[in-house]
Structure 1
């Protein structure tokens, strides 16, 4: 223990004297010592403090190197996601310069670690995504902020960011489009509660949205009815909604892809068959099959279900994966 303290004191002197290369090497030496002894908690604290020290002295490459080693320790030790660990990761990320080449790889490694650290979300821990989203929002990087908010459970803060994004970067005619894409993508990710929270906060707080429902924007009325229909899960209701608001849905070609997936997840719609005439054709075909199943019994249901095939959809993979 005394030997470690001597090395740490020497590290601090190197930092004070501006000898950052030597300080970096000593941090790495102590890191290997801790790992050989399986002192993972000590290794995490060492790497966090060392990385933060170097980053605050604008030694971004060296600081990021220690930060990446911290993620390796978390993976090696199978450390669970905790509030303290998330705060350490986010603090280091925030102190990396926006143009630091290692910044994005560090974030990606942290998110990947969180997928296997007792977290059921394959896309990463929602709190970690939320913290990253807020940092990107503060940096006015709306697209990155939007991506990470989509993988969080914070619909209220996402709403505030999305309103600002629309006002700063969008057009008045796109007020409903900014919300619709996010709500539909949340539903594709099976995050119904956050989709409802986002819709409620956005329509309540956006200065260009009237008090509703009903709303002046037909697409917002569609979203409102859709969110209400989710709990019932009745395909005919979903079909009527999509037919009634087809003009609004057609404003963005991706909406039909999203709605096809939502139909499968929440309303029992089978995957689209390549021979079927598009999105509404898929829904109507399913309804016709359902009528035949009612007269044909349970065996007929199973046979029709299997005959639809298993076509997969692109569905804006960058946004949703």
Structure 2
């Protein structure tokens, strides 16, 4: 329907309409003539507001210059050393393109900005823009494809890799202690920034065309960076990503490396955890592959490896799951309870394995510790 109203719309948008004038506009749906006047007025105001917003977006869309002009100008700002100023300009300019729903150009700006900042060593600024890049992918509902993944790879490769300094320093030397604390703080900051970026990218890929657990290569990137760059190794967190990375050979070599640098008693725990994580996902193939690969590489350097009760238990579980043998599965859990209880996560994983392979219902399915990859 078409309405003519003589109303004071001036407060709605002083630049768009004059106060106290007759406005004619079309409503999006027919109006019941029996409606109260107040309802008709509210519908009219809403229709006018929508019309003004639409006109504003169209005007913005027309007025925005070619994106390369902005990129070239901001590149000069970065090269002049005004990194923080450039960051704010990258954000504000890209936001205008997003408002105009010119998402492709907004992504161009954010990608260029992130790369420029990272190339100049500004990890916080570069990571901030990288995260905004992923946020814009979500807003625009961009599909997970090779072109976008290439951009994510490019930004990932620009995150610096700095050897983590040894924790053993002369505590009597204040300068050494200060330098160590500063280096460790920088390393933690880099890891946190990279983790926020890739976690967001993993979630985006899962929602827009990738596997339900996220694109495997993104998991591999994050797992590798966490292992090589994090001052405090969290092998549970690292393993969660590796088992979704579809690269068991890389995971096996990482575990072999870990065996040479971990504390006594951590090596067999890390290996058993990795195998059980694969099994909890129903991935027998990679569980066996990683166990075979580690045995092949480790037994020569670490003869005590095969003597571990936990490794023996893990080998028996792999054999048991190849046939319908729930009683044997339960018997093994009882017999090796003392070594399984070294880490609560192992029992949690075994419960998930029993449910997946033998249909055993968990006592409380909400207690899963391995479920939501986007929280790790």
What is the TM-score with the length of structure 2 in the denominator? 0.63
Alpha-carbon distance in 2 for matches of 1:116, 1:201: 34
What are the superposed Cα offsets for residues 271-298 of structure 1, whole Å, 9 maximum, x if unpaired? 34xxxxxxxxxxxxxxxxxxxxxxxxxx
| Cα 1:46/1:216, change in 2 over 3 Å | same
Q: Does 1:134 align with 2:134?
A: no
1:263, CA displacement in angstroms?
1.1
SS at match of 2:77: helix
1:111, CA displacement in angstroms?
2.5
1:132, CA displacement in angstroms?
1.1
Runs (4+) of structure 1 exceeding 6 A deviation are: 316-321
Match of residue 179, structure 1, among 268, 271, 280? 271
**Which residue in the other structure is 1:236 paired with?**
327
Structure 1: tracts of 5 or more residues without a match: 273-309
Q: Does 1:5 align with 2:68?
A: yes
Answer whether contact 2:275 2:290 (CA < 8 A) is retained. Answer: yes
Decide which moves more: 136-145 or 9-18: 136-145
Answer whether contact 2:97 2:106 (CA < 8 A) is retained. Answer: yes
1:227, CA displacement in angstroms?
1.9
Answer whether contact 2:71 2:112 (CA < 8 A) is retained. Answer: no
Match of residue 260, structure 1, among 347, 351, 372? 351
Structure 2: tracts of 5 or more residues without a match: 1-63, 161-186
Q: Does 1:66 align with 2:129?
A: yes
Alpha-carbon distance in 1 for matches of 2:340, 2:357: 18
Alpha-carbon distance in 1 for matches of 2:347, 2:71: 59
**Which residue in the other structure is 1:301 paired with?**
none
More helix by share: 1
| Cα 1:250/1:164, change in 2 over 3 Å | same
Answer whether contact 2:320 2:328 (CA < 8 A) is retained. Answer: yes
What is the TM-score with the length of structure 1 in the denominator? 0.72
SS at match of 2:307: coil
Alpha-carbon distance in 1 for matches of 2:362, 2:227: 36
Q: Does 1:161 align with 2:251?
A: no
**Which residue in the other structure is 1:201 paired with?**
293
SS at match of 1:195: helix
1:51, CA displacement in angstroms?
1.0
Alignment of 1:40-189 (within 5 A): 40-96=103-159, 98=187, 99-100=189-190, 102-122=193-213, 124-139=214-229, 141=231, 142-143=233-234, 144-171=237-264, 173-189=265-281
| Cα 1:234/1:41, change in 2 over 3 Å | farther
Q: Does 1:16 align with 2:79?
A: yes
Alpha-carbon distance in 1 for matches of 2:88, 2:273: 48
Alpha-carbon distance in 2 for matches of 1:186, 1:193: 9
Q: Size of the alignment, in residue pairs?
A: 280
| Cα 1:247/1:15, change in 2 over 3 Å | closer
Alpha-carbon distance in 1 for matches of 2:311, 2:193: 41
Match of residue 27, structure 1, among 76, 86, 90? 90
| TM-align CA RMSD | 3.4
Alpha-carbon distance in 1 for matches of 2:368, 2:87: 45
